[in-house]
């Protein structure tokens, strides 16, 4: 069996094991992100504007570290397709309340990183439910 066939087989197997979600007319497999403890971890989307998108993108490692300090993992950055200065970040967050507290009242080192990266308030967080 070639590598592509093995990969496809693994994807099908994972989809078969995924929890099902009713969407009115049909049932679909819902992807699940698991923490090390085997507990479903909600995804959080954070949105805000920035002073300069290129400068903000240069701070990716520091941003990921800050979010990880607020119980996040799998941090991904997004920029607006329309070329505006709006950005979004997604992360799997084991304790959304801790992350939201950090965003509302950032520790000095996180606040300094936000200022250095050109983050513009307000910051909005959306939690998967």
pLDDT tens-digit series, residues 68-85? 988 899 999 999 999 999
Measured distance CA(119)–CA(59) in Å, rounded: 11
CATH 3.30.70.100 applies to domain 39-127:
yes
- pLDDT at site 37: 56
Q: What digits encode the pLDDT tens for the residues 44-54?
A: 999 999 999 99
Tokens 């989307």 label which residue?
45
**pTM of the entire predicted model:** 0.69
CA-based nearest residue to 104, from 61, 64, 41, 46: 46
Smallest Cα–Cα separation from 73: which of 113, 33, 111, 37?
33
In this predicted structure, what is the pLDDT of residue 70? 86
Beta bridge partners of 45: 90, 126
Rounded distance between C-alpha atoms, residue 69 and residue 43, angstroms = 16
Residue extents of the structural domains in the chain: 1-32, 39-127
């Amino acid at each position: 069996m070639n590598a592509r066939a093995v990969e496809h087989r693994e994807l099908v197997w994972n989809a078969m094991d995924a929890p099902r979600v009713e969407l009115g007319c049909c049932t679909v497999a819902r992807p699940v992100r698991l923490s090390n403890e085997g507990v479903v971890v909600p995804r959080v989307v954070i949105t805000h504007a920035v002073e300069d998108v290129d400068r903000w993108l240069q701070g990716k490692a520091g941003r990921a570290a800050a979010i990880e300090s607020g119980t996040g993992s799998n941090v991904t950055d997004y920029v607006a397709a329309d070329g505006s200065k709006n950005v979004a970040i997604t992360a799997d967050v084991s304790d959304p309340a801790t992350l939201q507290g950090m965003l509302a009242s950032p520790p000095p080192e996180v606040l300094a990183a936000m200022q250095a990266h050109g983050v513009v308030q307000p910051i909005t967080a959306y939690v998967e439910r």
